Amino acid sequence: MRSEVWYNIAFTCIPSLGPITRKALIDEFKTSSNILSASIKALMKVKGVGEKMAYEIVQWNNPDKVDAEFAFIQQHQIKPLFITDKDYPQKLLECPDAPTLLFYKGNAQLNCTKILSIVGTRMPTPYGLYVIEECLKTLPKDVLIVSGLALGIDTIAHQTALQYGLPTVGVLAHGLDEIYPPPNKNLAKRMLHQGGLLTEFNCKTIPEKYNFPKRNRVVAGMADATLVVETALKGGSMISADFASQYHREVIAVPGKITDQRSRGCLKLIQENKASIFTSPNELMKQLNWINTTADLSTAQKEMIRLMQQQEIFSIDELLSISGLSIGSLYTLILELSTQQVIQELPCEKFTLMPAYYSI
C-alpha cells in the first residue's frame, strides 16, 4: 500500500501544475491521494483547473519516477516537508507561490523564531566579508542564517555562521543527490551537523538557470529579513530582495561606495525605499526586535516604558499623571526616549511606544 508521502511526491511531479494551483487543489481535497483519485468533473470545480489540466491529473502515470524519489529520500534520510506538515517552514505559508513539497536534510529548526537570509555577489570585497563577520559574531546563537550556498557572499555567510556557532541552512537550486557548486561540497557536509540543506527539487534535477529564481524566493520567503551585503544592479541578490519585498519581509542593504559596481544594487534598494540601511548588528537586531532593547536605558527611562505599555497612545497630561514627574523632567525624558527611537511623537502632542518595546 502506497503512503501519503508517495502521493505527495507524485502530485508534485505533474508538470503543468504550479504552486498556486496545487494549493487550491489541496484546499479543496485536503490530501494528495484524494486529488489523484478525484474525477475530472470534481477537479474542474477548483479555480484554475480547466479540462486539459484535469485530464492531465487523472491520466498522469509515472510511478517509476515516484518510486525512485521515494527510495532516494529513504536511503539518504531526507525529510519530505509537504505544505500541510507542521514542520514545513511556516513563514513560507504566507507566500502565495510557496513550494508544495520541500526536501530537507539537517538538524536545524526551520521554524525558529529568528531567521535571517543573507545574499550578495559572487565576488565580494574585503568590506563585504568584514560586514558579515561583524554581524554574525554579534547575533544571538538562536538566529538561523539562510543563504543559497553559491560562491561569494553565500559561502561566506554559511562559513561564518558555522564559525560563530549559528545554525545555517543552504537552499539549493537542484536535487539533494549533488552539491553545486562543487567547491562547496565539504561546506555542505559541515552544514548538515549545524544547520542543513533544503530544496524543492527532486533528485537528478540539475542546477538549470531557471531554477535559481525559484530557489531565491524560498531564501527570501522563509526568513524574517533579507540582508543584502553587496550586489550589482542585476542578479540573484536583487531577485531575492524583490521577493522579500513582495512578501512584506524586511529588506536591509549594506551601503557602499558609489563608485563600486558591487554596491550599486544595495544603493539602488536604499534609494528606492525598498530597503533600510544596515549600520550595525545592534541596530539590525533592534529593527527586528531580537534583543532586549532596554539594556542601555536609565532607570527612569525603563520606568516610563513600563508605564507606557499600559495603552497605545498617551497625551502629555496623561503622561504627567501616571509618571508624577514635573513638566520639565517629563519633556527631558520624552526627548531622550525620542532620540533613542523608543517612543514616537504623534500629532497633537501625543506619544506612543515603538513596537519593539511593548513585549520587553
Of 342, 344, 334, which Cα lies nearest the Cα of 294? 342
Say how far apart CA 241 and CA 251 lie, in whole Å. 6
- pLDDT at residue 353 in the model: 85
Residues in a beta bridge with 225: 116, 250
Tell me what pLDDT residue 289 has.
83
* Residue pLDDT tens, the chain, 360 long: 799 999 999 999 998 899 999 999 999 999 999 999 999 999 999 999 999 999 999 999 899 999 999 999 999 999 999 999 999 999 999 999 999 999 999 999 999 999 999 999 999 999 999 999 999 998 888 899 999 999 999 999 999 999 999 999 999 999 999 999 999 999 999 999 999 999 999 999 999 999 999 999 999 999 999 999 999 999 999 999 999 999 999 999 999 999 999 999 999 999 999 999 999 988 898 899 887 556 568 888 889 998 998 888 999 999 999 999 999 999 999 998 887 778 888 888 899 887 667 656
Query: Would strands 101-106 and 195-199 be described as parallel, antiparallel, or unpaired?
Result: antiparallel
pLDDT of residue 286: 86
Assigned C-alpha cell, 327: 513638566
Mean pLDDT (the chain) is 93
8-state DSSP, 202: P
Per-residue model confidence (pLDDT) at position 292: 57
Q: Name the DSSP letter for residue 272.
A: T
Cβ–Cβ under 8 Å, residues 136 and 157:
yes
Is the pTM of the predicted complex or chain greater than 0.95?
no
For residue 200, give every residue at least 6 positions away whose Cβ sits within 8 Å of its Cβ, in sequence order, or none.
Answer: 99, 100, 101, 102, 103, 214, 218
Are the CB atoms for 146 and 118 separated by under 8 Å?
yes
* Kind and range of the H or E run holding 227: strand 225-228
The long-range contacts involving 308-312, CB below 8 angstroms and separated by at least 24 positions, are 308/343, 308/351, 308/352, 308/353, 308/357, 309/353, 309/357, 309/358, 312/352
What confidence score (pLDDT) does residue 293 get? 59
